[in-house]
Amino acid sequence: MSTYVMWERPLHQQGDPRTVAVADDCVVVHERFSRLVCLEREDGSVRWDHPFGRWPRAVVAADGRCYGIAQDVDALSCRDLRSGAELWRAPLPGFTGHVAVAGDTVLVGGWRGYTPLQAFDTATGRPVWRTPRPVDTVLPLGLGDGTALLGAPGGAEVRRIRLGDGSRAERVPLPGMLPDGDDRAVFSRAGGGRVLLCCDGGPVTELRFRTGARGFRTGTRARTLPVSGAAGPVSEAGGLLWLSGPKGFDVLDPADGTPLWRVEAGHRMAEGVVPVADGFLVAGTQGTLFRLGPTGEVAERMTLGRRVAGLLPGFPAGAAGPAARAGQAFALTKGTLVALRAPGEAGEAGEAGDTAVARGD
């Protein structure tokens, strides 16, 4: 089989995509209920292993650092990805959740409306600002122009704030209500600096942002695609839009939302689509990995032997190096982290009756 297991790491606990952070040459994962471990990408060897706390609310890797909050430790920790040394630790109110890194700022708070939103300097941990009252927001998303996106679950707008002081820069109305983002991200990055989101029950909205010579400018453009009834998040992979449904994915043309094809496996699919050289990798929650051809046909299927909690790209968003070209991915199963590679060789055609694709009209 052309899709194969590079290595496998026992976690000794239930896997959760929020407890895994993929960086340029390594992956950080929470395991053994209280440890944070950094593994080398190619062979899974341990780079560092440190106590962290029980059940992280978030683990994020960005710009050579790793940030995290554990449920039983009221603090935001920052570690060096290379050495594992703790660079700084900032105290937080109890029940603080959400971690989002944007340039030289890390945002925390706003999870379930329990705490204020706070900003810290990524290099030193110095507090930059804090909202006077608790904020209820889905996981924020930094835009790279000195601003970030927020939005209240059930609200019909997205707020854009300035990272320098937390002030509101812009409000963007939505065609529907934001879903509850308690257990997953609502905003999804797409090519060309776009952001995708799916309102409750559809429709899909695409946001485009204006950036001038000095960075941020107002005038965000929101475009609604004629898609409704979406059951899960929307993402972009391989230049196509993937809408998660109860037992598969609807694949759409990003230009106008036209349905292209549907991936159906007969049981619930795990979140995550990974592009590879000649198609895509997706996984069923029951433990089957599917390698799809460029138009959705099943080229290969492989049994991982364990339930799959999520499928993650084996490279950071926007990467274009060897890892991305080789089609590396991580499958988070019930108790293990599995590193996969799909080099893009032609796989065996699916057996009769195994085809998991129904063409769109």
Q: Dihedral (C-alpha) 256, 258, 264, 268: value to the nearest 10 degrees?
A: 40
DSSP annotation of 324: H
Q: pTM of the prediction?
A: 0.88
Q: What is the pLDDT of residue 323?
A: 47
Residue ranges of the alpha helices (H) in the chain? 322-326
According to DSSP, the residues that pair with 127 across neighbouring strands are 120
How far apart, in whole angstroms, are the C-alpha atoms of residue 324 and residue 315? 6
Whether residue 282 contacts residue 273, with contact meaning beta carbons closer than 8 Å, is answered with yes
Q: What is the pLDDT of residue 318?
A: 59
Q: What is the pLDDT of residue 350?
A: 35
Instruction: Write the CB contacts of 358 (distance below 8 Å, at least 6 apart in sequence).
Output: 261, 262, 264
Q: What is the pLDDT of residue 344?
A: 52
How far apart, in whole angstroms, are the C-alpha atoms of residue 201 and residue 186? 13
Whether residue 141 contacts residue 135, with contact meaning beta carbons closer than 8 Å, is answered with no
- DSSP codes joined into one string, 46-97: EEEEEE--SSEEEEEEETTEEEEEETTEEEEEEEETTT--EEEEEE--TT--
Of 249, 269, 267, nearest to 259 by C-alpha is: 249
Would you give the distance in Å from CA 145 to the centre of its chain?
20
Whether residue 5 contacts residue 340, with contact meaning beta carbons closer than 8 Å, is answered with yes
In angstroms, what is the C-alpha Rg of the chain? 20
Q: What is the pLDDT of residue 65?
A: 97
**Burial class, 85, CB count within 10 angstroms (exposed 0-12 / middle 13-18 / buried 19+):** exposed
Burial 184-221 (b: 16+ CB within 10 A, else e): bbbbbbbeeebbbbbbeebbbbbbebeeeeeebeeebe
Tokens of 315: 């490279």
Q: What is the pLDDT of residue 66?
A: 97
How far apart, in whole angstroms, are the C-alpha atoms of residue 139 and residue 196? 14
Name the residue type at position 281: L
Q: What is the pLDDT of residue 74?
A: 96
Q: What is the pLDDT of residue 357?
A: 34
Q: What is the pLDDT of residue 230?
A: 63
Q: What is the pLDDT of residue 228?
A: 63
Sequence length of the chain is 361
Q: What is the pLDDT of residue 347?
A: 37
Helix/strand/coil for 19: helix
Helix (H) or strand (E) holding 326: helix 322-326
Helix/strand/coil for 325: helix
Whether residue 210 contacts residue 222, with contact meaning beta carbons closer than 8 Å, is answered with no
Instruction: Output the CA–CA distances (angstroms, integers) from residue 10 to 54, 78, 237, 332, 336, in the order listed.
Output: 17, 25, 28, 10, 4
Please report, in tens digits, the pLDDT of each residue of the chain (361 residues total).
Answer: 466 899 999 999 988 888 899 999 999 999 999 999 999 999 999 999 999 999 899 999 999 999 999 999 999 999 999 999 999 999 999 999 999 999 899 999 999 999 999 999 999 999 999 999 999 999 999 988 889 999 999 999 999 999 999 999 899 999 889 988 776 789 999 988 899 998 887 788 999 987 655 556 677 888 888 776 566 688 999 899 998 877 788 899 988 888 898 888 777 888 899 998 888 999 999 999 998 998 888 888 888 888 999 999 988 765 555 545 557 899 999 899 999 987 653 333 333 233 333 333 3
Q: What is the pLDDT of residue 345?
A: 38
